[in-house]
Amino acid sequence: MAAPEVNNSQSRASLMSRLRLSSLDMSPHADLLIRRLSHFAELSQEERAVLLAVTEKHRDVPAGFGLIGEGELLDSPRLLLAGWACRMRVFPDGRRQIFEFILPGEMYGLCQRPRAVALSTAVTLTQAVIADASPLREILAERQDEFPNLVAALYCAASLDEVHLLNQLIRVGHQSAYARVAHLVLELRQRLAAVGLAHGDTIALPLTQETLADALGLSIVHLNRTLQQLRRDGLIALKGGVLRLLAPDRLAEIADFHPPRVVQAAA
């Protein structure tokens, strides 16, 4: 009986190690993007080839890298292929409010309004891999008839981004600290699962408590106390950048969390 116990321990350690690196190493970059957009529409081989071509030319950037500055023209959309980023605003006294996390497989800076400018700053929170998404902007503007399902998927993805911003408004404007944390971790689990970066109810969470506090409108002390209470209540386990939801149904009840309804475009 001792050997299986060692093997299980080694397996758990291996899982923890993989999760710590999941934002950079778990899937080929194109797979993440295709997996996410395929939730919204049945992509043709030609449409998948477009996404593969877009992700082939990518570059690594460090944590703290500025992706878009507030007030800049939104004429160069990008894809986040690995790592974590966020949209935020920094106040004169140094405080910041994080409006939304940008996760692997998601796009940022895509806007169809002419001469549109960024309303917030986007910056990487970890090491990341990015790619130029201008070809997708061109498809939306000029080649919709050639790639109808890809266009439908891109619009659905943009609508889901709006859902995430509305969720953030609900969290910071209405919910208790306890419910805010529960709601956010459920949303992150759901978004990462959509691109295959969740292992059941376990996800990588490569964020500092300061970052989480800035996203939830809490002080670091208040956030820490809330995390400790969630642990004591047997709802989460958080260690070494790996988060496990121990009672997701109970968390959903506490947070009044409802996954967004995704309607797939007609083939």
pLDDT 10s digits, 254-264: 999 988 876 56
Q: What is the mean pLDDT of residues 84-105?
A: 92
Query: Hey, what amino acid is at 85?
Result: A
Take residue 61 and report the two structure tokens written for it: 């950037």
Taking 70 as the threshold, does the pLDDT of residue 192 lie above it? yes
Q: How confident is the model at residue 109 (pLDDT cuts 50, 70, 90)?
A: confident
Choose the weakest-confidence range: 86-95, 99-108, 110-119, 215-224.
110-119
Mean local confidence (pLDDT), 54-60: 89
Could you tell me the residue ranges of all domains in the chain? 2-255
pLDDT for 11 equals 52
pLDDT over threshold 80, residue 75: no
- The CA distance from 186 to 148, in Å, is 32
State mean pLDDT over 223-244.
96
Q: Residues of the chain with pLDDT > 90: what percent?
A: 55
pLDDT of residue 260: 81
User: What is the pLDDT at residue 23?
Assistant: 44
Say yes or no to pLDDT of 6 above 70. Answer: no
pLDDT at 19: 45
Mean pLDDT calculated for residue range 52-57:
88
Rounded mean pLDDT, 99-124: 84
- Give counts: helices (H), strands (E), the chain: 10, 12
- In DSSP notation, 105-128 reads TEEES---STT-B-SSEEEESS-E
The answer to whether 129 touches 82, Cβ cutoff 8 Å, is yes
Instruction: Give the residue-averaged pLDDT of 24-28.
Output: 48
| CATH number of 2-255, picked from 3.10.105.10, 3.30.1330.10, 3.50.50.60, 2.60.120.10 | 2.60.120.10
- The pTM of this model reads 0.85
Predicted pLDDT of residue 139: 87
Per-residue confidence (pLDDT) for residue 16, from 0 to 100: 44
Mean pLDDT over each residue of the chain, to the nearest integer: 85
